[in-house]
Structure formats: C-alpha cells, structure tokens
C-alpha cells in the first residue's frame, strides 16, 4: 500500500540546504563566494599553481614589467621584483600566507572565545563576571598597539604578531557568546530541555549551539576581515612577517621602495588584499541575511 | 486506592529586593494540597500573579519548593531528581512558539527526551516519534519540519507530542489554549480529552477560560494572591461558590454566556 502523504515533494531540505537556497538569492554574495573560493584554492594548492619558488632570485631578469607591457615576458606573467623574484608566485604564496593564517587565527579565537563565553553564560555570580571581563582590558587597546607591545617583549616575527592578533580577537567572541547564552537560558525551550533532564553540557551543545550559528558567522566574518587587515598591516610596518617571506603586507612595503619604477609592485598585492577583504565581507553579509531569512519563509 | 498525584502542603517563598535600601517584596505560595486520580482533570483558575504558573513549575520541577511534598502513586518525589520526575510528569508551555527550539527539527525536539531518558536505540526512537506525531494528529512528515514552518495550532500539537513522548502519567499545562484561535482551541481541547480517555492521564491545567474549565475539568482550584481560595468538584464550585472571589468569577462568566 502506498504511504499516505499530503505533500507532493518527498524532499526535506536540511537547515544547511535552506541557508544555501536563501544565500543563492543574493547574486552579489554568490560572486563574493566565487572570489573567496578562488582565494581558498590558492591557499590549498599554492605549490601547484605558482610557477616559481617565491623566494628564488632570478638574477638575469631583474625588474621585468608585467607581461602586458611592451617589454614584459610571458615567462613572468606579473613581472619580477627588484631582486628578480617572480611576482605571480609571490602573490599566490602571499594569499596563502595572509588568508591561511587569518583563518587559523579566527578559528582559534572563536574556539577559545566561545568556550570562555559559554562558561561565563552558564555560570552565575562572581565566577561568571571574572570569566566575562578576563580579557576586557584588551578591548580598550587597538590590535596594533598590543602587537607592538608583544613584539617589544618577544621580538619581531610572524608568530608573535599572530599571538597579538588572536588575543585581540578573543574578547568580542567571549562577550557575544555570553550575552547570547544568557538570553537563551531565559527562554522556554531551554527550560523544556532542562525538564527533559538535560545537563549543562548537553544544554549548551545540543540546545543552544544550533541557534548560535548566525551570531558565530557574523562575528567570524568580521573577525576574519579584521585579521587579514591586521596581519598585512603588521607586515607592512615590519613588525609581523619579515622581508623575504611572501606576505601581502610585507610585499607592499617592499614594493613601496620601487613604486616609481614599477607601480604594479604595489598595485598587485594591494588589490589582492582589497579583493580578499571585500569578498569576505560580501560572503559574510550574504550568509547573515541567508541565515536570518531561512527562519521566516 | 492511592491517588495518582498527591500534593501535600506545598509552599514556596520568593524574596525580591528592589535597590539597596528598597523595601523587600515577598511572594508566598501558601500551603497547597490536592489529589488527582488517573484520568481526572484538575483546573487551576485565578487572576494574574496568583501563583498558578508557579504551582505548575513546582509540580514539574522547574522550581524547588520551600516546603511540602509531592507524591506520585504514593511514592515521594525528590525535588533534586529531575530524571525521576520527567518520566512521569510533563509540562506543556503557554507559548508553544518559544517552547520549541528554532534550531532543531520537530523530530529532533521529540527525540531528545527519549535519548536522555530511555535506552531505546535509534530505530525504536524513530518509531516512537512517528507514533507520537500520529497520536496528536500530525503527519510523520512533520518530523522534518522546523518551528517556523508550523502554524500555531501545529506548534501546540508538537508541544503536546513532546509531553506525551515519554508516556507520562501526569501532564501539567500552563494556559495551553490561550494563544489559539477559537476553532483551533476547541480542536486541541477535544484532542486532549480524547487522549486523556485513551491513555488514562492525569491532567493539571491552568486557564483563564472558564468555559473550557467547566467543559473539561473534574475538580477546580481557585487561587488568589498565592492562597487557595476554594477547591472542590467543578460543578459544585460553579453552582454553589463559597467565596466572594469565586462568585465574582462565575458571575462574570455567566453574564458573558447569557448575553
């Protein structure tokens, strides 16, 4: 006997598929996703895509202009810099470094921040306050200043700037998570879950976490664009990644010295940073409205 | 024969201080005692702030009483042991909308209590969820739905299904019909009465709607400012109210009907 079914379509989209359907409505966001996907490909497959080693110096071909200039060569598509390194390879590796490190930093900050925030949200009284305001002083100081302090203590380097940025990103995750958990704990569905006999761990991971995705996405994309900008800013100031390593900010500051001879040496890494941040923001914005819209149809 | 649910001298005191030097505000639920047998319905009526919802929350264990005991089938319930209680006493919330998790599908919402409280495997849980959905008049397909896809009446049914999924003996409902329009309300009332007959449930419900109270309840508890003003068989209370407050409530109700 065929099963009685009121609905013609036997297809039940999951929340993820709902989000994707809503996300697709916005063309700008989809374009942003394509661009971000392109950068993600660079991050993963950089060694396969880049034609040369990013630090290899071709001493016979110094400062070759990009291929579209009259005296450029197709061997070096974006030309070479003042010591003969292939700019295209450096850009590819630069995207890998900047975006990859930013992603790791944001994930780390999110993990730590959400853990502390959840603990602060589920507990009460002094313990909750201490956890909540543990890292507040970091909010008052700009990231760059924290980085300068850390660099002054530990010395210049990429790893030290990574510490600085992830420390600066954590407090906002703590605060947002705590406020969110506090608010949700008052709602009836959490009481219902508590009456089902759920303990606190279960309450957070099964009951509250599915509703927190929207907040995490919004905070995560914001943190990602901040991290990209900060990593390249520290590289540009010479506090983060050091000279030979292909990092977009560092490349920018190197290109500044020869900007009059080859403008492309600052235009290319600069626009790479710009497009990267733009695509992250487009995707974040699209995701936020998609997550909001899937709840009301 | 022992009663299904018996409450003895349940009290609760809450103190709220406003500001540092502000006066202390106290609310006390005076000793409440009542009994329900299987298949019986107890209605609690009273105006806002009379402690009706608090009594419901005490019964299901969301709040801890200051004194008194609750017995289920003659066995005393431990106020700290939620697991023991939630298998037998389940709650239906007033706002079905807020009481359903927006991030979980109906199937998951119904499955969670089973996961936490029973030893059923995945297939048995699935079967139980589908059966419960059918019991409250929903389709098996509704397990894939999320809160925002359901109408108010359907949400209330899901709330009822969540209460029923653990095969409880007593259901406590805090104004379950308040947010529903009249046609859906009468549907839900009839559904609950049918289920009660079928499963032999004890049913405690709080309502402002005296028409429904008179229609479905066997006993009545009238509350005012934390005090039990009157209790007894519904028909007795409606026909021969003893206290002035109950008389006023009944008069107001009668004047609405006979208009």
Question: pLDDT digits over B9-56, tens only?
Answer: 888 887 766 666 666 666 778 888 888 888 888 999 888 878 888 888
Supply the pLDDT for residue A67: 83
Mean pLDDT of B51-76: 83
Residue of chain A whose alpha carbon sits nearest to that of B114 = A196
Q: Which residues of B touch A (CB under 8 A)?
A: 60-62, 82-83, 86, 90-91, 93, 95, 98-104, 112-113, 116-117, 139, 141, 144, 146, 148-149, 162
Q: How far apart are CA A229 and CA A17, in angstroms?
A: 31
- Which residues of chain A make contact with B119, given a CB cutoff of 8 A? none
Q: How far apart are CA A54 and CA A16, in angstroms?
A: 39
Instruction: Tell me the pairing of strands B202-206 and B170-174.
Output: parallel
CB atoms within 10 A of CB A276: 25
Mutation site, B89, B101, B113, B156, interface A, largest A CB count within 10 A: B101
**A144 and B CB contact within 8 Å:** no
Please tell me which of the candidates A7, A198, A211 has its beta carbon nearest to residue B116.
A198
Question: pLDDT digits over A111-149, tens only?
Answer: 999 999 999 888 888 888 888 787 777 777 777 787 778
B26 beta partners: B15
Q: How far apart are CA A216 and CA A288, in angstroms?
A: 10
Cross-chain Cβ contact B98/A188 below 8 Å: yes
Supply the pLDDT for residue A5: 58
Supply the pLDDT for residue A1: 40
- Across chain A, mean pLDDT equals 86
Domain A19-294: CATH class, spelled out = mainly alpha
* Pick from B61, B50, B83: nearest CA to B5: B61
How many CA atoms are closer than 13 Å to the CA of A50, on its beta-carbon side?
24
Supply the pLDDT for residue B215: 85
Cross-chain Cβ contact A210/B100 below 8 Å: no
What homologous superfamily is domain B32-58+79-257 in, according to CATH?
P-loop containing nucleotide triphosphate hydrolases (3.40.50.300)
Supply the pLDDT for residue A7: 59
Residue of chain B whose alpha carbon sits nearest to that of A187 = B98
Which tokens hold the place of B127? 């079967």
- SS3 (DSSP) at A242: coil
The answer to whether residues A129 and A72 touch, using CB atoms and an 8 Å cutoff, is no
Q: How far apart are CA A32 and CA A259, in angstroms?
A: 30
Which tokens hold the place of B122? 């995945």
Mean pLDDT of B85-101: 84
Mean pLDDT of B59-69: 82
Planar angle of CA B17, B23, B28, nearest 5 degrees: 65
| Domain spans in chain B, listed from the N-terminal domain onward | 32-58+79-257
B35 beta partners: B6
* Pick from B238, B104, B99: nearest CA to B172: B99
Supply the pLDDT for residue B24: 63
Contacts of B174 (CB under 8 A, 6+ apart): B52, B53, B56, B57, B91, B92, B93, B94, B205, B206
Sheet holding B67-72, edge to edge: B24-36, B5-17, B67-72, B75-76
Question: Does B247 score more than 50 pLDDT?
Answer: yes
Alpha helices in chain A (DSSP H): 15-24, 27-49, 87-122, 125-133, 136-140, 143-154, 158-185, 188-195, 200-202, 209-237, 248-257, 264-294
Which tokens hold the place of A156? 């210049």
Q: How far apart are CA A55 and CA A270, in angstroms?
A: 19
Supply the pLDDT for residue A171: 87
Per-residue pLDDT of chain A (297 residues; tens, 9 = 90+): 455 556 566 667 777 788 888 888 889 999 999 999 999 999 999 888 888 888 888 888 888 888 888 888 888 888 888 888 888 899 999 999 899 999 999 999 999 999 999 998 888 888 888 887 877 777 777 777 877 788 788 888 888 888 888 888 888 899 899 999 999 988 888 888 888 888 888 888 888 988 888 889 889 999 999 999 988 888 888 888 777 888 888 888 888 888 888 888 888 999 999 999 999 999 999 998 888 887 665
Q: How far apart are CA A135 and CA A168, in angstroms?
A: 9
Question: Does B57 score more than 80 pLDDT?
Answer: yes
Q: How far apart are CA A282 and CA A23, in angstroms?
A: 11
Supply the pLDDT for residue A39: 93
The answer to whether residues B149 and B128 touch, using CB atoms and an 8 Å cutoff, is no
Q: B153 or A216: whose pLDDT is higher?
A: A216
- Which residues of chain A make contact with B148, given a CB cutoff of 8 A? 295-297
Mean pLDDT of B52-68: 83
| Domain spans in chain A, listed from the N-terminal domain onward | 19-294
- Which residues of chain A make contact with B113, given a CB cutoff of 8 A? 196-197
- Helix, strand, coil percentages in chain B from 3-state DSSP, rounded to 5: 40, 25, 30
**A5 and B CB contact within 8 Å:** yes
Give pairs for B232-237: CB < 8 Å, separation 24+.
B234/B43
Which tokens hold the place of B129? 């969820």
CB within 8 Å of chain B, chain A residues 30-49: none
- Which residues of chain B make contact with A5, given a CB cutoff of 8 A? 139, 141
* Pick from B222, B223, B256: nearest CA to B236: B222
- Across chain B, mean pLDDT equals 84
Cross-chain Cβ contact B148/A202 below 8 Å: no
Cross-chain Cβ contact A15/B103 below 8 Å: yes
């Amino acid at each position: 006997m065929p099963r009685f079914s009121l609905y013609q379509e036997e297809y039940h989209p999951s929340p993820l598929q709902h989000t994707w359907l809503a996300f697709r409505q916005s063309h700008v966001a989809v374009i942003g996703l394509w661009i971000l996907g392109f950068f993600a490909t660079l991050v993963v497959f950089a060694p396969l895509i880049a034609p040369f080693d990013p630090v290899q110096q071709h001493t016979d071909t110094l400062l070759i202009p990009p291929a579209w200039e009259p005296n450029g060569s197709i061997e070096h598509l974006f030309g070479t810099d003042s010591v003969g390194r292939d700019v295209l390879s450096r850009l590819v590796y630069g995207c890998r470094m900047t975006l990859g490190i930013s992603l790791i930093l944001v994930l780390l900050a999110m993990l730590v921040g959400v853990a502390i925030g959840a603990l602060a949200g589920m507990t009460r009284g002094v313990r909750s306050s201490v956890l909540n305001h543990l890292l507040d002083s970091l909010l008052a100081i700009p990231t760059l200043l924290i980085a300068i302090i850390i660099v002054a203590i530990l010395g210049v380097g990429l790893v030290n700037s990574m510490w600085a940025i992830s420390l600066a990103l954590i407090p906002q995750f703590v605060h947002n998570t705590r406020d969110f958990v506090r608010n949700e704990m008052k709602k009836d569905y959490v009481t219902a879950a508590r009456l089902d006999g759920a303990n606190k761990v279960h309450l957070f991971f099964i009951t509250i976490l599915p509703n927190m995705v929207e907040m995490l996405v919004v905070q995560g994309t914001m943190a990602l664009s901040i991290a990209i900008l900060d990593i390249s800013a520290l590289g540009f100031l010479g506090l983060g990644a050091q000279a030979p390593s292909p990092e977009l900010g560092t490349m920018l500051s190197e290109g500044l010295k020869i900007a009059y001879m080859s403008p492309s040496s600052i235009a290319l890494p600069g626009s790479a940073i710009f497009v990267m941040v733009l695509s992250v923001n487009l995707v974040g914005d699209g995701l936020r409205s998609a997550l909001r819209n899937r709840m009301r149809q | 024969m022992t009663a299904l649910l018996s409450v003895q001298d349940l009290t609760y005191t809450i103190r709220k201080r406003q500001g540092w030097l502000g006066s202390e505000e106290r609310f006390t639920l005076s000793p409440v005692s009542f009994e329900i047998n299987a298949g019986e319905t107890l209605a609690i009526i009273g105006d806002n702030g009379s402690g009706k919802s608090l009594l419901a929350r005490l019964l299901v264990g969301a709040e801890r009483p200051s004194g008194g005991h609750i017995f289920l089938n003659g066995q005393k319930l431990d106020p700290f042991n939620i697991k023991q209680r939630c298998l037998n006493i389940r709650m239906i919330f007033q706002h079905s909308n807020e009481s359903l998790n927006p991030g979980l599908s109906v199937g998951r919402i119904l499955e969670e209590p089973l996961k936490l409280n029973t030893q059923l495997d995945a297939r048995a849980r699935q079967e139980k969820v589908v059966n419960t959905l059918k019991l409250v008049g929903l389709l098996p397909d509704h397990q894939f739905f999320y809160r925002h896809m359901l109408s108010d009446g359907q949400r209330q049914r899901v709330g009822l299904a969540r209460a029923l999924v653990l095969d409880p003996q007593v259901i406590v409902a805090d104004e379950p019909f308040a947010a529903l329009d009249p046609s859906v309300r009468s549907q839900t009332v009839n559904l609950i009465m049918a289920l009660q007959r079928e499963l032999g449930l004890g049913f405690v419900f709080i309502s402002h709607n005296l028409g429904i109270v008179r229609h479905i309840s066997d006993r009545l508890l009238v509350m005012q400012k934390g005090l039990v003003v009157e209790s007894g068989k519904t028909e007795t209370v409606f026909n021969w109210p003893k206290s002035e407050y109950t008389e006023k409530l009944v008069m107001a109700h009668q004047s609405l009907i006979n208009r």
